[in-house]
Amino acid sequence: MQIYTPQQRFALHIILLLMLGGAIFYGLADYFPAFIGSIILYVLFRRLHTFLTEKCKWKPQASAFLIIVVSLFIIILPLVATTIMIARKAIFYATYTSTFVNYINQLLKSAAIVQFQRFTGIDLHNPELLQKVVSKIGEFATRLFTPLVSGTLNLFVGITIMYFVLYYLLVNQSNVIKSLYYYLPFEKETVEKMFAELENNVKTNVLGQGMIALVQGSLVWLGFEIFGINDGLFWGVISALLAFIPVLGTPLVWVPAGLTAIGQGNTVGGIGLIIYGAILVLNIDNLLRFLIARQIGNIHPLITVLGVIFGVNFFGILGLVIGPLLISYFLVLLEAYNRQYAR
């Protein structure tokens, strides 16, 4: 004999599901980027896994293990090492903002910068504004990188979860795809478009944009070395990260670096770096984006810019990929809604 009516049992069932699901989500929220990372790696290596299992007749477990080892050494370990290198210096600048502000104030008093201010009519010597700008940059850098440096245990656990999920996705590939079609509350056409959008985003933002970032970062590093400006490797890596932002990215490095070199008396090197960046670094960006849009995939620049801003704010460094993907999914679901319900 049940004390609940069928409607009450249904309502209680839904409430329990929501409560337990909320508790699980809350407990795993810190590792959400790990789940996204496993999906990104799955999309990158899915074709290789299919080739090994179907053409070469490997067992799915052996193929998954090989993919995990390969991705660990060519993607994850270099990425973690590079991020930690950047994070330490970023946190140093964030900690000693007053020293950094004093250094910039000294540069602003140099003859070249004074002449620039007189010529343009722009007053760059505003200590309060400068302090606010440097503090904001420091806060942003700390929020972006600190979790990867201070949370060593969390980083290890996150990578472990990511590879555990990736192994499951590869070994149970067909069952996972069938489950998605069954449980997602969308038409088959919408689910297929979501899969296509995921693949397009990952290819464009990881393979395509990663290639652009690597080339631009290397060119900025080379430019620093050619024109005798210090810390070329560090600023080359920073340029590679900023290259994920179309057009606006790398100029945020080589323009201030060139002005700083001019302020320190290296006029030829500073002007040379700015011309080098404007002619070579920016144009190689446009050329590579055109080639990648034809060969790999294409995402509207506005989606990329908004996605990077939104993604980095919530997910840190992984937001460079996650942000544009989520905005693309929003547009896909909006289109599906219009197709299914608007009429």
Instruction: Compare 4 and 61 and report the one with higher pLDDT.
Output: 61
pLDDT digits (tens, 9 = 90+) for 96-109: 555 555 656 666 66
Average model confidence (pLDDT) across the chain: 75
pLDDT score recorded for residue 281? 82
- pLDDT of residue 337 exceeding 80, the answer is no
Of 84-88, 111-115, 284-288, the range with the highest mean pLDDT is 284-288
What is the distance between the alpha carbons of residues 43 and 169, in angstroms, rounded to a whole number?
10
223, 228, 269 from 272: Cα distances, Å: 9, 10, 5
Neighbouring residues of 59: CB distance < 8 A, sequence distance ≥ 6 = 53
What is the distance between the alpha carbons of residues 228 and 268, in angstroms, rounded to a whole number?
10
Rounded (5°) CA angle 87-89-94 = 90
Q: What is the pTM of this model?
A: 0.67
Q: What is the mean pLDDT of residues 124-138?
A: 57
The domain limits of the chain are: 31-172, 187-343
What is the distance between the alpha carbons of residues 34 and 52, in angstroms, rounded to a whole number?
25
The answer to whether 103 and 260 are in contact (CB under 8 A) is no
The answer to whether 273 and 229 are in contact (CB under 8 A) is yes
Instruction: Compare 50 and 340 and report the one with higher pLDDT.
Output: 50
Which tokens belong to 137?
Answer: 């940059």
pLDDT digits (tens, 9 = 90+) for 203-212: 777 777 778 8
Closest by CA position to 150, among listed 88, 76, 93: 88
pLDDT score recorded for residue 295? 61
| Per-residue burial over 287-319, b = 16 or more CB atoms within 10 Å of its CB, e = otherwise | ebbeebeeeebebeeebbbebbebbbeebbbbb
Q: Quick one: pLDDT band at residue 177, thresholds 50, 70, 90?
A: confident
Question: Dihedral angle at the C-alpha atoms of 11, 13, 19, 20, nearest 10 degrees?
Answer: -170
Sole residue written with tokens 């290639």: 211
- pLDDT of residue 263 exceeding 60, the answer is yes
Q: Quick one: pLDDT band at residue 95, thresholds 50, 70, 90?
A: low
Neighbouring residues of 255: CB distance < 8 A, sequence distance ≥ 6 = 274, 277
* Radius of gyration, CA atoms only, the chain: 24
- pLDDT of residue 329 exceeding 70, the answer is yes
What is the distance between the alpha carbons of residues 74 and 66, in angstroms, rounded to a whole number?
12
- pLDDT of residue 201 exceeding 70, the answer is yes
pLDDT digits (tens, 9 = 90+) for 56-91: 888 888 988 998 888 888 877 777 777 677 766 666
Q: What is the mean pLDDT of residues 38-64?
A: 86
Q: What is the mean pLDDT of residues 256-276?
A: 80
Q: Quick one: pLDDT band at residue 273, thresholds 50, 70, 90?
A: confident
